[in-house]
Amino acid sequence: MLKTVIGVFTSREQAEKAVSELRGSGFENEISILARDDRAATDVDENSVMFGGDSLTEGATTGGVVGGIAGLAVGAGALAIPGLGPIIAAGPIAGMLSGAATGGIAGGLVDWGIPRERGEYYEGKVREGKIVATVKADENKINSAADILRRNGAQDVETH
């Protein structure tokens, strides 16, 4: 049975290290990342979401700016979430969120197996500018994924 582990990073560097270690441990298409546009109040091209002062969508294309984060997944891109503004979503959850943008991140996380109350909590973390990472894996691999997230600085790590 598939489970989801979720955690919050305070920096891009922590998230990139975690993604790199996850990939090195055999996790590939199971990793998803959610992050808010840091420049939401400024004039931003809707196709170029900023992440830590760098364009994440450009990094997703070139592989240079965010390295491990955007490079981890097909379908990395910018989404506009009502009430939250532009976010970047990478990995399998990106497609789910693009189809359920009106439900926000919390709604997408519910579809991902996260209880609504916790989904709202994690949506709040993205709103604060934190980076939320999820890994969907078999029960026999989920503890390994959670350990990797924690080792690389993730907070609020939970399994659902």
Q: What is the pLDDT of residues 103-154, one digit of tens each?
A: 678 877 887 788 999 999 998 999 899 999 999 999 999 999 999 999 999 9
Nearest to 132 by CA among 155, 152, 110, 115: 155
Determine the distance from the C-alpha atom of residue 39 to the mean position of all C-alpha atoms in its chain, rounded to a whole number.
Answer: 18
What distance in Å separates the CA atoms of residue 62 and residue 107, rounded to the nearest whole number? 30
Higher pLDDT: 128 or 93? It is 128
Does pTM surpass 0.85? Answer: no
The DSSP call for residue 72 is: G
155 in Cβ contact with 132 (< 8 Å)? no
